[in-house]
């Protein structure tokens, strides 16, 4: 296992980042790279991992664009892992289709259940439930590292829920308008103009105008700004005011803060 591995991740609240790090810890010569820092340079690694959250039973728009522009030879071993909160829909099928259309092969694909961060729909899971999920995640990371370490090509994992696989296409269509969905964010008087939302947005979609966040319609709806605001000043429409926030504890800003 002396080959080089690169893992590209996209993450709003840290689950996918945690998985990327846990897999990397178990592989020699493995780099973990933010997907948003990839500038189309040719990939030299022998093994490439792509790790991201499931959005609307599919994959974030940013991730589909990344898969379309990944500059990689057809001989490379590519694996994907999608973290999800409860129903993974057709996330890996979508990733596989994009790669296949480019003549590339998805050699392995894994689904990893993590705490659900979709605060627009649900409260964050209890600490007890989170701990259980994280324990299972460590085992899964071990399994993934073993599988990809030996460049095995198992079946791509699929959601066992018939319902979400059948209706995945319907919900996934909602993501077509995702960039404008930031029109639903609101900011209240508790905002201290700290700029953390600007700092944590993975796609640089937020700027401060008169000290308040302004979303510039390139949103991926990762909810990092809302979940990680230290003053709880950001909400989505009228849906999140009383909901518990979620941030994976491994996630830190470049200045070391959560
Ligand atoms: C916009 C959005 C849509 C989501 N859609 C789904 C979904 O369809 N199915 C699911 O199981 N989880 C869904 N989730 C939950 C995330 O996939 C899950 O919590 C993931 O681990 C978050 O990863 P991150 O912390 O790396 O951002 C969604 C989350 C967001 C923010």
pLDDT tens column, 20-77: 999 999 999 999 999 999 999 999 999 999 999 999 999 999 999 999 999 999 999 9
Q: What are phi and psi of 81, to 5 degrees?
A: -140, 130
In a domain, 252, yes or no: no
Task: Please classify residue 242 by burial: count the beta carbons closer than 10 Å to its beta carbon, then call 0-12 exposed, 13-18 middle and 19+ buried.
Answer: exposed
- Testing ligand 1's pocket by substitution, the residue of 17, 34, 83, 85 carrying the most ligand atoms inside 8 A of its CB is 85
Together in a domain, 217 and 126? no
Together in a domain, 41 and 94? yes
In a domain, 61, yes or no: yes
Any idea what the CATH number is for the domain that residue 166 is in? 3.40.50.360
**Per-residue model confidence (pLDDT) at position 168:** 81
Q: Each residue of 87-123: pLDDT tens digit?
A: 999 999 999 999 999 999 999 999 999 999 999 999 9
Task: Give 172 or 235, the one with higher predicted confidence.
Answer: 235
Residue 1 Cα to ligand 1 middle (Å)? 32
Residue 169 Cα to ligand 1 middle (Å)? 16
Place of tokens 């003549």: 103
Ligand 1 atom at shortest distance from the alpha carbon of 12: 27
Q: Do the Cβ atoms of 90 and 159 come closer than 8 Å?
A: yes
Pocket of ligand 1 (CB under 6 A): 11-16, 53-57, 83-89, 114-118, 221-223, 248
Cα dist from 210 to 141, 184, 202, 213, 214, whole Å: 44, 19, 22, 8, 9
In a domain, 100, yes or no: yes
Q: Which of 105, 18, 90, 14 lies closest to 59, judged by CA?
A: 90
Distance separating alpha carbons of residues 240 and 21, to the nearest angstrom: 30
Residue 86 Cα to ligand 1 middle (Å)? 9
Angle among Cα 8, 44, 27 to the nearest 5 degrees reads 55
Total number of domains in the chain: 2
**Could you tell me the residue range of the domain that residue 134 belongs to?**
5-172
Residue 174 Cα to ligand 1 middle (Å)? 14
């Amino acid at each position: 296992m002396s080959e080089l591995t690169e893992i590209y991740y996209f993450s709003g609240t840290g689950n996918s980042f945690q998985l990327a790090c846990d897999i990397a810890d178990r592989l020699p010569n493995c780099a973990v790279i933010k997907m948003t820092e990839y500038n189309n340079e040719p990939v030299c690694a022998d093994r490439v991992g792509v790790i991201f959250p499931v959005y609307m039973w599919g994959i974030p728009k940013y991730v589909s664009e990344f898969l379309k522009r990944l500059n990689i030879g057809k001989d490379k071993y590519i694996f994907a892992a999608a973290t999800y909160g409860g129903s993974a829909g057709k996330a890996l099928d979508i990733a596989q289709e994009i790669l296949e259309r480019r003549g590339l092969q998805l050699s392995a694909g894994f689904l990893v259940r993590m705490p659900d961060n979709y605060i627009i729909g649900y409260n964050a899971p209890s600490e007890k439930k989170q701990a259980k999920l994280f324990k299972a995640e460590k085992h899964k990371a071990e399994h993934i590292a073993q599988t990809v370490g030996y460049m095995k090509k198992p079946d791509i994992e699929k959601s066992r829920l018939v319902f979400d696989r059948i209706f995945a296409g319907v919900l996934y269509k909602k993501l077509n308008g995702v960039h404008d969905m930031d029109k639903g964010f609101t900011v209240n008087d508790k905002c201290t103009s700290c700029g953390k939302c600007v700092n944590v947005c993975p796609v640089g979609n937020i700027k401060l105008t008169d000290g308040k966040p302004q979303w510039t319609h390139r949103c991926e709806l990762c909810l990092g700004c809302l979940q990680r605001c230290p003053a709880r000043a950001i909400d989505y429409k009228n849906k999140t005011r009383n909901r518990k926030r979620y941030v994976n504890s491994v996630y830190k800003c470049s200045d070391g803060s959560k």
